[in-house]
A and B are shown apart, each in its own frame.
Chain A
Amino acid sequence: GENVEQHPSTLSVQEGDSAVIKCTYSDSASNYFPWYKQELGKGPQLIIDIRSNVGEKKDQRIAVTLNKTAKHFSLHITETQPEDSAVYFCAARVYSTLTFGKGTMLLVSP
Protein backbone atom coordinates (compact mmCIF):
# COMPACT_ATOMS: atom_id res chain seq x y z
CA GLY A 1 0.00 0.00 0.00
CA GLU A 2 0.85 3.67 -0.06
CA ASN A 3 3.40 5.01 2.44
CA VAL A 4 3.79 8.72 3.20
CA GLU A 5 6.82 10.10 5.04
CA GLN A 6 6.69 13.62 6.48
CA HIS A 7 9.51 15.84 7.79
CA PRO A 8 10.25 17.53 10.08
CA SER A 9 8.18 16.29 13.00
CA THR A 10 8.55 19.66 14.76
CA LEU A 11 9.30 23.07 13.28
CA SER A 12 9.81 26.26 15.28
CA VAL A 13 9.95 29.63 13.50
CA GLN A 14 9.73 33.29 14.39
CA GLU A 15 6.70 35.27 13.32
CA GLY A 16 7.23 36.55 9.78
CA ASP A 17 9.60 33.74 8.78
CA SER A 18 8.78 31.09 6.19
CA ALA A 19 8.07 27.45 7.01
CA VAL A 20 8.54 24.45 4.73
CA ILE A 21 7.22 20.94 5.37
CA LYS A 22 8.21 18.08 3.08
CA CYS A 23 6.54 14.76 2.24
CA THR A 24 7.42 11.78 0.10
CA TYR A 25 5.08 9.05 -1.15
CA SER A 26 5.68 5.57 -2.48
CA ASP A 27 2.82 4.69 -4.84
CA SER A 28 3.16 6.24 -8.29
CA ALA A 29 -0.61 5.77 -8.75
CA SER A 30 -1.28 8.51 -6.15
CA ASN A 31 -2.86 11.45 -7.94
CA TYR A 32 -4.15 13.84 -5.30
CA PHE A 33 -2.23 15.44 -2.44
CA PRO A 34 -4.08 17.48 0.21
CA TRP A 35 -2.66 19.29 3.21
CA TYR A 36 -4.59 19.54 6.45
CA LYS A 37 -4.17 21.74 9.51
CA GLN A 38 -5.27 20.32 12.84
CA GLU A 39 -5.65 22.48 15.93
CA LEU A 40 -5.87 21.04 19.41
CA GLY A 41 -9.17 19.28 20.01
CA LYS A 42 -10.39 19.73 16.44
CA GLY A 43 -10.63 17.67 13.29
CA PRO A 44 -8.25 18.22 10.35
CA GLN A 45 -9.08 21.23 8.18
CA LEU A 46 -8.16 21.22 4.49
CA ILE A 47 -5.90 24.18 3.71
CA ILE A 48 -4.68 23.45 0.19
CA ASP A 49 -4.47 20.55 -2.25
CA ILE A 50 -2.80 19.70 -5.53
CA ARG A 51 -3.49 17.19 -8.25
CA SER A 52 -0.88 15.19 -10.11
CA ASN A 53 -1.28 17.14 -13.35
CA VAL A 54 -0.16 20.37 -11.64
CA GLY A 55 3.33 21.25 -10.38
CA GLU A 56 2.54 24.15 -8.09
CA LYS A 57 -0.45 25.84 -6.50
CA LYS A 58 -0.66 28.97 -4.39
CA ASP A 59 -3.31 30.45 -2.13
CA GLN A 60 -2.28 33.71 -0.47
CA ARG A 61 0.51 32.82 2.04
CA ILE A 62 0.32 29.10 1.36
CA ALA A 63 1.80 27.21 -1.59
CA VAL A 64 2.28 23.57 -2.45
CA THR A 65 4.74 22.07 -4.93
CA LEU A 66 4.71 18.58 -6.41
CA ASN A 67 7.55 16.65 -8.04
CA LYS A 68 6.02 13.48 -9.50
CA THR A 69 9.32 12.12 -10.72
CA ALA A 70 10.86 12.27 -7.27
CA LYS A 71 7.53 11.45 -5.57
CA HIS A 72 7.69 14.33 -3.16
CA PHE A 73 5.57 17.36 -2.38
CA SER A 74 6.04 20.31 -0.05
CA LEU A 75 4.01 22.90 1.82
CA HIS A 76 5.34 26.45 1.99
CA ILE A 77 3.94 29.02 4.39
CA THR A 78 5.26 32.57 4.08
CA GLU A 79 4.99 35.43 6.58
CA THR A 80 4.02 33.03 9.37
CA GLN A 81 1.72 34.25 12.14
CA PRO A 82 1.12 32.86 15.64
CA GLU A 83 -2.28 31.57 14.52
CA ASP A 84 -0.48 29.30 12.03
CA SER A 85 0.69 27.24 15.02
CA ALA A 86 -0.88 23.78 14.69
CA VAL A 87 -0.13 20.27 13.47
CA TYR A 88 0.04 19.95 9.69
CA PHE A 89 -0.57 16.69 7.84
CA CYS A 90 0.19 15.81 4.26
CA ALA A 91 -1.71 13.01 2.54
CA ALA A 92 -1.70 11.10 -0.73
CA ARG A 93 -4.71 9.54 -2.38
CA VAL A 94 -4.74 6.26 -4.26
CA TYR A 95 -8.17 5.38 -5.64
CA SER A 96 -10.50 6.87 -3.03
CA THR A 97 -8.51 6.48 0.19
CA LEU A 98 -6.15 8.96 1.81
CA THR A 99 -2.86 7.91 3.43
CA PHE A 100 -1.51 10.48 5.86
CA GLY A 101 1.95 11.40 7.07
CA LYS A 102 2.66 11.47 10.80
CA GLY A 103 2.33 15.23 11.04
CA THR A 104 4.48 18.29 11.68
CA MET A 105 3.94 20.44 14.74
CA LEU A 106 4.53 24.04 13.66
CA LEU A 107 5.24 26.54 16.43
CA VAL A 108 5.29 30.24 15.46
CA SER A 109 6.73 32.49 18.16
CA PRO A 110 5.69 36.17 18.30
Chain B
Amino acid sequence: DAGVTQSPTHLIKTRGQQVTLRCSPKSGHDTVSWYQQALGQGPQFIFQYYEEEERQRGNFPDRFSGHQFPNYSSELNVNALLLGDSALYLCASSLVLRGARTDTQYFGPGTRLTVL
Protein backbone atom coordinates (compact mmCIF):
# COMPACT_ATOMS: atom_id res chain seq x y z
CA ASP B 1 0.00 0.00 0.00
CA ALA B 2 1.72 3.16 -1.22
CA GLY B 3 1.81 6.04 1.20
CA VAL B 4 1.83 9.72 0.33
CA THR B 5 4.55 10.56 -2.17
CA GLN B 6 5.97 13.96 -3.06
CA SER B 7 8.33 15.24 -5.72
CA PRO B 8 10.89 16.58 -5.98
CA THR B 9 12.65 15.94 -2.65
CA HIS B 10 14.79 19.06 -2.89
CA LEU B 11 14.59 22.21 -4.99
CA ILE B 12 16.69 25.37 -5.23
CA LYS B 13 15.22 28.50 -6.80
CA THR B 14 16.08 32.19 -6.92
CA ARG B 15 13.92 35.09 -5.83
CA GLY B 16 11.15 35.96 -8.26
CA GLN B 17 11.00 32.52 -9.83
CA GLN B 18 8.02 30.20 -9.83
CA VAL B 19 7.92 26.63 -8.49
CA THR B 20 5.58 23.64 -8.78
CA LEU B 21 5.53 20.85 -6.21
CA ARG B 22 3.68 17.57 -6.66
CA CYS B 23 1.87 15.15 -4.39
CA SER B 24 0.22 11.77 -4.81
CA PRO B 25 -2.12 10.83 -1.98
CA LYS B 26 -2.22 7.55 -0.12
CA SER B 27 -4.08 4.85 -2.02
CA GLY B 28 -7.82 5.25 -1.55
CA HIS B 29 -7.60 8.85 -0.30
CA ASP B 30 -9.34 11.69 -2.10
CA THR B 31 -8.44 14.82 -0.13
CA VAL B 32 -5.09 16.59 -0.20
CA SER B 33 -3.88 19.28 2.20
CA TRP B 34 -0.69 21.31 1.84
CA TYR B 35 1.41 22.65 4.72
CA GLN B 36 4.48 24.84 4.98
CA GLN B 37 6.99 23.98 7.71
CA ALA B 38 9.66 26.58 8.42
CA LEU B 39 12.80 25.44 10.22
CA GLY B 40 12.11 24.78 13.89
CA GLN B 41 8.37 25.35 13.54
CA GLY B 42 5.25 23.26 13.27
CA PRO B 43 3.52 22.81 9.91
CA GLN B 44 1.23 25.67 8.83
CA PHE B 45 -1.89 24.94 6.79
CA ILE B 46 -1.88 26.41 3.28
CA PHE B 47 -4.99 24.93 1.65
CA GLN B 48 -6.98 21.77 1.09
CA TYR B 49 -8.34 20.23 -2.12
CA TYR B 50 -11.26 17.89 -2.55
CA GLU B 51 -13.15 17.03 -5.73
CA GLU B 52 -10.68 19.21 -7.65
CA GLU B 53 -11.67 22.35 -5.76
CA GLU B 54 -10.00 24.38 -3.03
CA ARG B 55 -12.16 23.81 0.06
CA GLN B 56 -10.26 25.52 2.87
CA ARG B 57 -7.44 28.05 2.85
CA GLY B 58 -5.05 29.21 5.52
CA ASN B 59 -3.46 32.62 5.89
CA PHE B 60 -1.26 32.53 2.78
CA PRO B 61 -1.12 35.08 -0.07
CA ASP B 62 -2.48 34.49 -3.56
CA ARG B 63 1.06 33.72 -4.74
CA PHE B 64 0.29 30.26 -3.39
CA SER B 65 -2.10 28.34 -5.60
CA GLY B 66 -2.93 24.72 -6.19
CA HIS B 67 -4.67 22.19 -8.30
CA GLN B 68 -6.11 18.73 -7.87
CA PHE B 69 -6.40 16.29 -10.73
CA PRO B 70 -9.10 13.66 -11.39
CA ASN B 71 -6.78 10.96 -10.02
CA TYR B 72 -6.65 12.95 -6.71
CA SER B 73 -3.00 13.95 -7.10
CA SER B 74 -2.23 17.59 -6.46
CA GLU B 75 0.16 20.41 -7.27
CA LEU B 76 1.24 23.39 -5.22
CA ASN B 77 2.41 26.43 -7.18
CA VAL B 78 4.24 29.38 -5.69
CA ASN B 79 4.83 32.50 -7.82
CA ALA B 80 7.26 35.37 -7.31
CA LEU B 81 9.32 33.45 -4.76
CA LEU B 82 10.62 35.29 -1.70
CA LEU B 83 13.50 34.31 0.57
CA GLY B 84 10.92 33.66 3.28
CA ASP B 85 9.31 30.94 1.18
CA SER B 86 12.26 28.66 1.98
CA ALA B 87 10.75 25.79 3.93
CA LEU B 88 9.72 22.14 3.90
CA TYR B 89 6.43 21.78 2.01
CA LEU B 90 4.33 18.89 3.22
CA CYS B 91 1.40 17.20 1.60
CA ALA B 92 -1.12 15.24 3.66
CA SER B 93 -3.93 13.05 2.41
CA SER B 94 -7.19 12.00 3.99
CA LEU B 95 -10.51 10.51 3.02
CA VAL B 96 -14.08 11.68 2.75
CA LEU B 97 -16.26 8.77 3.82
CA ARG B 98 -20.00 8.75 3.22
CA GLY B 99 -19.98 12.50 2.82
CA ALA B 100 -18.04 13.22 6.00
CA ARG B 101 -14.37 14.18 6.14
CA THR B 102 -12.43 11.64 8.20
CA ASP B 103 -10.01 12.89 10.81
CA THR B 104 -6.72 11.25 10.06
CA GLN B 105 -4.20 12.98 7.82
CA TYR B 106 -1.17 11.09 6.58
CA PHE B 107 1.87 13.11 5.61
CA GLY B 108 4.38 12.65 2.84
CA PRO B 109 8.14 13.15 3.27
CA GLY B 110 8.00 16.73 2.02
CA THR B 111 9.82 18.85 -0.54
CA ARG B 112 12.64 21.02 0.77
CA LEU B 113 12.53 24.36 -1.08
CA THR B 114 15.46 26.74 -0.82
CA VAL B 115 15.10 30.24 -2.26
CA LEU B 116 18.36 32.13 -2.85
Contact = CB atoms under 8 A, between A and B. Distances in A.
Contacts, number: 60
Given A44-B43, A89-B42, A97 B33 contact: yes
Contacts of B31: 96
Interface string A24-42: 0000000010101000011
Interface stretch (A12-20, A58-66, A68-76, A100-108): A100-108
Interface in B24-76: 31, 33, 40-45, 48, 55-56, 58-59
Given A93-B103, A97-B33, A97-B56, A43 B108 contact: yes
Contact of A89 (B4, B43, B45, B59): B43
Contact of B107 (A4, A41, A43, A101): A43
A78 interface: no
B41 A103 contact: yes
Given A43-B90, A44-B90, A95-B56, A100 B43 contact: yes
Interface of A: 1, 4, 6, 32, 34, 36, 41-46, 49, 51, 89, 91, 93, 95-103
Given A43-B107, A46-B104, A97-B56, 16 more contacts: A32-B103, A43-B108, A43-B109, A43-B110, A44-B107, A45-B107, A49-B103, A89-B43, A96-B31, A96-B33, A97-B58, A98-B33, A98-B92, A98-B105, A103-B40, A103-B41
21 contacts: A4-B42, A32-B103, A34-B103, A42-B110, A43-B108, A44-B43, A44-B90, A44-B107, A46-B105, A89-B43, A96-B31, A97-B33, A97-B48, A97-B56, A97-B58, A98-B105, A100-B43, A101-B42, A102-B40, A103-B40, A103-B41
Q: Closest 4 CB pairs between A and B?
A: A100-B42, A43-B107, A43-B109, A32-B103
